[in-house]
A and B are shown apart, each in its own frame.
Chain A
Amino acid sequence: MTRSNRTVVAAILVFVFSLSSLVRGFLDFVNQGPFTQNADRWFIIIVFILFTILLVSSLGIWQNQRWGKIAAIAILTLNGLAVVPQFLDGGTLVQTLLRLVDVVTWLVVTVLLLMPTRQHSSA
């Protein structure tokens, strides 16, 4: 199996991002933080499922699998869609930084996975 540096970086980014988001969400859920208090229960479950799929998709990206790349781009884009409008809500510096991390991760991973890979002719 051949995997480019871009794929490796994208896989690591997705893995770290999804794991940290799950941990963050779990801590928020345990401590009844702002996200858990304000969101619907089904919405929380769907978000957890999506981030779990994102975690699994990092493995797919690592193995250079098409499904992993598509799932990661789709979930990160949905997350970006939800996060981008929140920039207008203001909030604390930490919240803004976390949103910024979400958006940057989405953009970087999308570009890394969609950019064409250079292939050298073997002949």
Chain B
Amino acid sequence: MKLRVSRTFPSFLDPNSFIGAGLLGILLVSYILTIYVSAIALGTFPFGETPSGSLSPSNQPWYVNLVAVVLLALTIWPVSRWLYQRVYDLIFGQQDNPYALPSMISQQLRGTQNPELTLPDIAESIATALHLPYIAFELDGDGRKVFTYGSPQPRAARHLFPLQYLDQLMGRLIASGRSANYPLSQSDHHILQEIAQQIGIALYLASMTEVLQSSREQIVVAREEERRRIRNDLHDGLAPTLSSFQLQLGAIRKLMFENPEEAEIILQELSGDLKHATGEIRELVYDLRPPMLDELGLIEAIQNLGILDTHTQLELDVPDPLPPFSAATEVALYRIVTEAVHNVAKHANATRCTVRITTDPEVLSLTITDNGQGMPTGHSDSIGQQSMRERASELGGAFSIQPVDPSGTCVEVRLPWRDTHR
């Protein structure tokens, strides 16, 4: 969609400039005349004199001229400035259809998946429709990008409009005033704010789409890596073990009648190897999902961790009944609690460790607090803490660890959650 094109401002060849100057001129002349006539009327009647009927200053009493000059001197600047602004806003503004431009920008944004590509066209549309000499878009994010149209007028004020959605600043729209004496009008501000909001939302959605796509790719990569790990575990661990069983069984078959004592020794070795293989399979299964979660449930699984020694008491403060969590959330909670309680047992020297789970309609909060000696100064993330942070992050949550007063440490995890059973 194209709007009227009038790229230069002010231009003596632009009919709009002529109309504006003419209208402003007759309004100012009328104002001066009205003030002068009012001064004559007010200055002569109270003293019993009748107006002479002539407008010539020489025909008026001296104080009438003085009053007229003082009144004009006091008011001509603000009045002319107001009229200048309003007349040019009427001529160049969008008063007749203030929603035409935002609506057109909206259409331009709807027609693309990448709003950044349309910004040069949008800058041109805004500059053309509002008769602005310069429009620029500055985008934050990965590398600062700038899209401009036109060039700013010398000494003209620049106005900044944030491109943002909620508290996420995506960049800014910069508009230059039409001239040094003609900054943006109120209606210009309204329209540009409206447009900046639209573009901010579009940019935010585009960035979120990018994040979502990247997240999907990460999920696929993580799934493939997990498959590869399981395949390697099976291939490098279990498969050779089973092959060795086959060989051992063959040897036993041969020796069973010829040398039963030797066969007995191999059978004992086979029994030990079978135990080892069973342990490997258990480890593999445990890595996929702790079996205790299915056998006991989350609460009892935590109660039966068996990590803490006898002088540290484990307290659980959880909703009763515990709302149902997704399998991923349940595993994450269990793993984080296991790691945190393990750290308490290993480093805290605490007498009490409290695991608290709270839920509100949108957030699931897990805290593990101890009354131990707290974190050492200059503490940085250990591997275990990084693992907890990653587990929270995978589910779109946040992880924090901080000291508690008077002593101890608090690990807090906040996960997005929705109670579907309400």
Footprint of B on A, CB under 8 Å? 1-2, 64-66, 69-70, 73-74, 77-78, 80-81, 84-85, 87-90, 103, 106, 110, 113-117, 119, 121-123
Contacts and interface: CB of A to CB of B under 8 A. Distances in A.
Given A73-B23, A121-B190, A114 B97 contact: no
Q: A-side binding surface: helix, strand, loop or mixed?
A: helix
Interface residues of B, number: 39
Nearest to A119: B190
B51 A116 contact: no
Given A85-B55, A123-B198, A114 B90 contact: yes
Q: B-side binding surface: helix, strand, loop or mixed?
A: helix
B37 A85 contact: yes
Determine which residue in B23, B185, B197 has the highest number of CB atoms from chain A within 10 A of its CB, and name it.
Answer: B23
Contacts of A84: 30, 33-34, 37
A106 B22 CA distance: 17
B57 interface: no
Contacts of B91: 66, 70
Interface string B88-113: 01110001111100000000000000
B345 interface: no
Nearest to B102: A122
Contact of B33 (A64, A85, A90, A110): A85
A77 B26 contact: yes
B75 to A, nearest CB: 14
B259 interface: no
A80 B89 CA distance: 22
Contacts of B19: 70
Nearest to B193: A121
Contact of B96 (A64, A81, A89): A64
Contacts of B197: 121, 123
Contacts of B26: 74, 77-78, 81
A119 B96 CA distance: 13
Contacts of A65: 96
A2 B53 contact: no
A66 B23 contact: no
Interface string B335-371: 0000000000000000000000000000000000000
A7 to B, nearest CB: 9
B377 interface: no
B292 to A, nearest CB: 50
B380 interface: no
